[in-house]
């Protein structure tokens, strides 16, 4: 978090590989964060970090990594290990929020196995993913999440399209319980993972437009402020869009 002289907040966001890991319109998530900050008078800074670029662990409050084509995802997996792993762990240690969506979720885990070949992940989430040669898990999805102990249960609605099956280890918690759709593996009714302030989910692409409440949760967490400190917005269209995505999932 950065606080300027007037005491106002600025959310500093970094998109990892914004030109490669963006296959499902991931920029929708960044746009929602940007607008919801701007409408509240919260400053917003967006940086990108591409292949070969060093990452400054202290310069960002929220780091985002989206999904990509297989080939691009492999390039990014290598680069994450070579140039960004230490900085990401450092950022997580100082409670920056790290959100991995779809392919980005897989890369934040321990390993990703494709055709017997094990690709090492960043290891911020204790999850392991194996690419299943069978059917991809595709469709509308809704999950029920509890983001803080004792907090109310909320619904995240979205769309998933992944060939990987992800198993959550002991160090991480699942993000939510599948109400409709496939989730991590299509069997366990578990979806996503979270460990500290790192979150991964298969609800791909523009997840935040369909779940404005979650965008606000991320903003508050990244700024380390209480959600009630965020001024309310006219969210009528946001609520209708959330309801529409839930209807599509049948929830």
Partner 1 sequence: MSTLLAPKLALARAAGALSRLRGGGATSAPGKLLLKLEPGAIGALSSRLEHGSVLISATNGKTTTAAMVASILEGRGVELVHNQAGANMAGGIASTLLAAARSRARIAGELGLFEVDELWLAPVAASLRGLRAVLLSNLFRDQLDRYGELETIADSWVSALSEGPALAAALVLNADDPLVADLGRDREGDSQESREDEHREVLYFGIDDDTLALPGMAHAADAKHCRRCGAPYVFEAVYLGHLGHYHCPSCGQQRPSPAVRASAVRLDGVRGARFRLSVPTGEAEVKLSLPGLYNVYNALAAAALALALEVELEDIVAGLQGATAAFGRAETVTVDGRETQILLVKNPAGANEILRTLALEPGEHDLLGVLNDNIADGRDVSWIWDADYELLAGRVRSVTCTGTRAPELALRLKYAGIDPSRITVIDDLPRALAAAAANRPEGARKPLYVLPTYTAMLALRALLVQRGEAGSSWL
Q: Which residues are catalytic?
A: 102, 204
Which residue from 3, 8, 86, 237 is in contact with partner 1, where contact means CB under 8 A?
A: 237
Q: Is 119 in the site for partner 1 (CB under 8 A)?
A: no
Q: Is 238 in the site for partner 1 (CB under 8 A)?
A: yes
**In the complex, minimum distance from the CB of residue 147 to partner 1, in angstroms, rounded to a whole number:** 22
Which residue from 25, 46, 81, 130 is in contact with partner 1, where contact means CB under 8 A?
A: 25
Residue 121 burial class via C-beta count within 10 angstroms: exposed 0-12, middle 13-18, buried 19 and up: buried
Q: Which stretch binds partner 1 (CB under 8 A): 2-10, 26-34, 147-155, 172-180?
A: 26-34
The CA distances from residue 167 to 127, 144, 148, 170, 220, in Å, are 6, 18, 22, 10, 29
Which residue from 32, 37, 77, 88 is in contact with partner 1, where contact means CB under 8 A?
A: 32
Q: Is 180 in the site for partner 1 (CB under 8 A)?
A: no
Report the C-alpha gap between 52 and 58 in whole angstroms: 18
Q: Within 70-109, which residues bind partner 1 (CB under 8 A)?
A: 70-72, 75
| Strand stretches in the chain, DSSP E | 2-3, 9-16, 43-49, 62-65, 97-101, 111-114, 117-120, 127-131, 137-145, 154-162, 164-168, 176-180, 190-191, 193-195, 198-201
Q: Is 182 in the site for partner 1 (CB under 8 A)?
A: no
Q: Is 139 in the site for partner 1 (CB under 8 A)?
A: yes
Q: Which stretch binds partner 1 (CB under 8 A): 79-87, 120-128, 220-228, 232-240?
A: 232-240
φ and ψ at 108, to 5 degrees?
Answer: -80, -10
DSSP 175-189: SEEEEES-TTTSSS-
Helix 27-38 and helix 212-223, axial crossing angle in degrees, nearest 10 = 70
Which residue from 206, 214, 217, 221 is in contact with partner 1, where contact means CB under 8 A?
A: 206
Q: Is the dihedral of CA 169, 204, 178, 234 positive or negative?
A: positive
**In the complex, minimum distance from the CB of residue 46 to partner 1, in angstroms, rounded to a whole number:** 13
Q: Which stretch binds partner 1 (CB under 8 A): 16-24, 82-90, 110-118, 220-228?
A: 16-24
The CA distances from residue 17 to 27, 76, 81, 132, 162, in Å, are 12, 7, 14, 25, 19
Q: Is 171 in the site for partner 1 (CB under 8 A)?
A: no
**In the complex, minimum distance from the CB of residue 100 to partner 1, in angstroms, rounded to a whole number:** 17
The residue ranges that bind partner 1 (CB under 8 A) are: 19-20, 22-25, 27-28, 31-32, 35, 69-72, 75, 138-140, 159, 161, 204-206, 209-210, 234, 237-238, 240-241, 243-245, 248
């Amino acid at each position: 978090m950065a606080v300027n002289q007037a005491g106002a907040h600025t959310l500093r966001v970094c998109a990892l590989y914004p030109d490669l890991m963006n296959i499902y319109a991931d920029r929708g998530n960044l746009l929602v964060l940007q607008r919801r900050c701007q409408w509240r008078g919260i400053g917003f800074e967006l940086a990108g970090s591409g292949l070969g670029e060093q990452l400054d662990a202290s310069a960002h409050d929220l780091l985002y990594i989206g999904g990509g084509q297989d080939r691009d995802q492999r390039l990014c997996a290598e680069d994450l290990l070579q140039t960004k792993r230490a900085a990401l762990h450092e950022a997580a240690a100082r409670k920056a929020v790290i959100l991995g969506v779809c392919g980005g979720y897989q890369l934040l885990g321990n390993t990703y196995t494709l055709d017997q070949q094990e690709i090492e992940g960043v290891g911020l989430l204790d999850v392991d993913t194996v690419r299943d040669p069978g059917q991809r898990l595709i469709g509308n999805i809704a999950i029920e999440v509890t983001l803080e102990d004792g907090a109310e249960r909320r619904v995240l609605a979205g769309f998933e399209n992944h060939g990987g099956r992800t198993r959550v280890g002991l160090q991480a918690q699942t993000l939510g319980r599948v109400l409709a759709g496939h989730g991590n593996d299509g069997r366990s009714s578990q979806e996503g993972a979270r460990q500290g302030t790192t979150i991964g989910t298969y609800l791909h692409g523009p997840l935040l437009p369909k779940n404005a409440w979650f965008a606000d949760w991320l903003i508050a967490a990244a700024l380390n402020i209480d959600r009630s400190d965020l001024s309310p917005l006219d969210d009528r269209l946001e609520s209708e869009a959330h309801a529409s995505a839930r209807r599509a999932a049948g929830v």
